[in-house]
Structures are given as C-alpha cells and as structure tokens.
Amino acid sequence: MRVRSKAGLSALLLALVATGARAEEGNFLSNLFKYGGTTVPPSQPKELEAPYCPPVGVSEGGAALQTLAGRSADKPNIRTQVTLGRLARECTRREDGSITVKVGVEGRVLLGPAGAPGRFDVPITIAIKSDEKVVTSRFRRLSATVAPGEAQGFFSVVEEDLSVPAAITRDYEIEVGLGGSAPKAGKAQPRRKAPVAAVPTSPEQTGASQ
C-alpha cells in the first residue's frame, strides 16, 4: 500500500511538472488543500456592510395639496386635491462609507366640484434630513393629466443619487412632501462705482483774490 501511495504521489508530481503547473503562493500541496487547486484564486472585492435605509416619511403638512376656486376652502370651491400614494426607497453603500438613496413617489390628482379636466402641475420636495436639519433636497414640478370624462389623474417620479455623508449614515431620515419651491438664484449685487478723485479748485474758481 505504501509503495502504491508513493508511486501515485510521484506520478502526480511528474504530471504537474510536465504541464507547467506552478503555485503562485506557497507550495502546490498547501494551495491544493486550501483553495481546491494549484493556484491562488484572485482576491475578491471587500463586501460592503448593508446600509441603514429608513422608510420614507411624509413632511408635516405635505401629504395633500388643494387648489381653490375662491378664498374659502369649502368643498364647493375645491378645484383639485393632490394626494401622495405609494412611497419607496433603495439605499446603496459606497466604498467611501457614504450612502446613495433612490426614492420613488406615486400620487394622484382628484377633481373637486369646481374642477375641470386638464393638465395640472404637482410640486414635490424630496429631502434627506439629520437631526431635523436638511442635508440635501430636490424640488421637482411634475404633471398629471385628468382626461375628459375622468375624475382623477396620476403622477410618479423616481429621484436618484441623493447622497448621505458617511458621518450620518446611521442617523438620517428620508422625507417627501407636496409643495415647496425651486431655490431662487441669488440676485447679483450692483457694482459700486469707484470714487472719482476730487479736482483741486483754482483761486479763480473759488473767487479768492491773490
């Protein structure tokens, strides 16, 4: 039995030499037992930790939006009522420790007693917050169409690449709300004119005598 074992091992050594097989690290036997082959497999990228991904919340007062035909908010004066529907999110951790968030929003526009079919604008704000402070936000003006003979129309949006800094990836919120406005561009400050140097007056101009 021992003679056969030695002969088998010698044959394996000769076969490996004949085929040019070699180990990249250590000897071929250690690699064979460790990796299941004679070569070291390429290193795999480090698996990133699953990110914290909180559910999408609705901002205070941002769940519904009405347009009115008059000053009164009585039901007969309601033209449209916009409401949020399904909310979804997806979070991905980056190699630098930060997180990128994708948010999906669906909603609908309902016609009120004073409304009529048509195309309607829907302002919406999506924000990342931490400790009640806005870290980043996006404003979008969507559109929903209510066709003739219909009582409602729908809208949807998927907002990508909302960035969460690495320092707050364990304590942040995702918030959606109807309303808001696009950030206003800062007004250019008027350029101040350079002061004009005073021209010295002559005795004749001042009326002074010699």
How many Å apart are CA 116 and CA 175, to the nearest integer?
Answer: 31
List of residues 6+ apart from 146 with CB closer than 8 A: 109, 111, 115, 117, 118, 120, 152, 153
- pTM of full prediction above 0.75: no
- Which positions of the chain have pLDDT values less than 50? 1, 3, 16, 19-26, 33, 185-191, 193-194, 197-210
Are 19 and 12 in contact, with CB atoms under 8 Å apart? no
CA 132 to chain CA centroid, Å, is: 18
How many Å apart are CA 67 and CA 73, to the nearest integer?
Answer: 9
If we measure between CA atoms, which residue out of 168, 159, 153 comes closest to residue 121? 153
Are 115 and 80 in contact, with CB atoms under 8 Å apart? yes
Q: Are strands 118-130 and 133-146 parallel, antiparallel or unpaired?
A: antiparallel
The two structure tokens encoding residue 160:
């990508």
Label residue 153 exposed, middle or buried (CB < 10 Å: 0-12, 13-18, 19+): buried
pLDDT at 41: 57
Residue type, 97: G
Strand, coil or helix: what is 113?
Answer: coil
pLDDT at 11: 59
How many Å apart are CA 102 and CA 100, to the nearest integer?
Answer: 7
The two structure tokens encoding residue 39:
């070569």
pLDDT at 35: 52
3-state helix, strand, coil in the chain (%, to 5): 15, 40, 45
